[in-house]
Homo-oligomer: A and B are copies of this chain.
Amino acid sequence: MASNNPLTLSIDAMGGDEAPEMVIDGLEIAAGENPRLRFLLFGDEAKLSPLVDARPAVKKVTTVRHAPDVVGSGDKPAIALRSGRQSSMRFAINAVADGEADAVISAGNTGALMAMAKFVLKTLPGIDRPAIATYFPTIRGATVMLDLGANVDCNEDNLVQFAVMGEVYARNVSGIENPSIGLLNVGQEDLKGNQAVRGAAEILRTCGLPIDFYGFVEGDDIAKGTVDVIVTDGFTGNVALKTAEGMSSLFGFLLKDALTSSFFAKLGALIARPALMRFKDKFDPRKYNGAMFVGLNGICVKSHGGTDGVGFANAISVALTLVSNNFNEGIKEDVAKLLIDDDPVTTPEDDSQSPEAATS
């Protein structure tokens, strides 16, 4: 891909608490950072056109396409899949399937987005189930973690496929030469954990792929940055991610409370303000906004529904990074090796396209 070619992103304008205004804010920021960007913006044309017209920098690179329906944030995925065929979310995904756009970004209903993306884009060859991945701030920098909620129940093959996808991500997108992979567990010893993690560890140790499999890691290894990629089932991953977010909020709340508790506390905080602001910035959730749906035959990024323009622009940059680094080609190559080598990963009977898998 020549570096001056335009990159077209398909945007669901109607997803998110403050949509469509915050989406347009995000487009403006992203367009300002990257002149190659073009947007296909799906949603209520009557609402969108005046907003776009008011921002010349957005208008110049955006095509508004009308979608009559909106997927609600509380809609069940199976219902959204059936009745949301005319929704902004569905139209935005279709644009990737039709080759009109290089990636789709939505801040809408996660379960509905996963169900629709899986139905429309299909999974990559050798991948039974897509997963949700994101960056996690650590002492060393940032770790990729997956699955964060697409698959509540995972077997060993699912976890192995997540490991392969995470490895490709860390190598091709984060640029880590030989990324280490850890399986999240309740202890480091071989005997620990449930059947799925023990089975996945056995496959990863013996599958012959050139993967740096570290072994089991525990919850505190996430923030330590012990490994470059953390693999877990969607139930545990979702709880761990939200537990960490909750701890960040608790810490921020109590720190603010402490630093406003007395005259001297306030004075000290004022003097140390630049350092404290840099510290706060490291935990800014907008910096980590943009969860990647990996394992699909197309790039799909989910923005947090409660974010603002800065966060939405970050989700756009996540999608851009995936497109620019040929993320999906890397996965296809590695999975193909796995299939040729000893076929431990394919379980054809599990290759369901049921949207139910994404309900949680």
**Interface residues of A, Cβ cutoff 8 Å to B:** 74, 76, 137-139, 149, 152-153, 184, 186-187, 189, 191-194, 218-224, 232, 234-236, 238-251, 253-255, 257-259, 261-262, 264-265, 267-276, 278-279, 282-283, 359-360
Closest chain B residue to A150, Cβ basis: B186
Closest chain B residue to A270, Cβ basis: B268
For A261, list chain B residues within 8 Å (CB): 275, 278
For A282, list chain B residues within 8 Å (CB): 254
Q: Are B248 and A251 touching (Cβ within 8 A)?
A: yes
Q: Point out the residue from B184, B247, B271 that lies within 8 Å of A223, measured CB to CB.
A: B247
* Top 6 A-B pairs, shortest CB-CB distance: A268-B272, A219-B242, A220-B246, A268-B271, A223-B246, A265-B275
Q: Are B235 and A219 touching (Cβ within 8 A)?
A: no
For A192, list chain B residues within 8 Å (CB): 152, 359-360
For A153, list chain B residues within 8 Å (CB): 194
Q: Are B276 and A271 touching (Cβ within 8 A)?
A: no
Cα distance, A250 to B267, chains bound together (Å): 25
Main secondary structure of the interface of A (DSSP, over half): helix
Closest chain B residue to A138, Cβ basis: B250
Closest chain B residue to A186, Cβ basis: B238
For A234, list chain B residues within 8 Å (CB): 186
Q: Nearest Cβ in chain B — how far from A116, in angstroms? A: 17
If A251-B247, A259-B272, A274-B264 touch, whether A360 touches B152 (CB-CB below 8 Å) is no
Q: Are A251 and B251 touching (Cβ within 8 A)?
A: yes
Q: List 23 A-B contacts (CB under 8 A).
A: A76-B191, A139-B249, A149-B186, A152-B193, A186-B234, A186-B235, A186-B238, A192-B359, A194-B235, A219-B241, A219-B244, A223-B247, A240-B240, A254-B279, A255-B255, A259-B275, A262-B274, A264-B274, A264-B275, A265-B274, A268-B276, A271-B271, A272-B272
Give the most central of A221, A261, A265: most B CB within 10 Å: A265
Cα distance, A139 to B257, chains bound together (Å): 11
Q: Nearest Cβ in chain B — how far from A324, in angstroms? A: 30
Q: Nearest Cβ in chain B — how far from A179, in angstroms? A: 20
Q: Point out the residue from B74, B187, B218, B243 that lies within 8 Å of A219, measured CB to CB.
A: B243
Closest chain B residue to A245, Cβ basis: B220
Closest chain B residue to A240, Cβ basis: B243
Cα distance, A310 to B132, chains bound together (Å): 42
Q: Nearest Cβ in chain B — how far from A235, in angstroms? A: 6
Cα distance, A243 to B230, chains bound together (Å): 12
Q: Are B279 and A262 touching (Cβ within 8 A)?
A: no
Cα distance, A270 to B264, chains bound together (Å): 10
For A193, list chain B residues within 8 Å (CB): 152, 235, 360
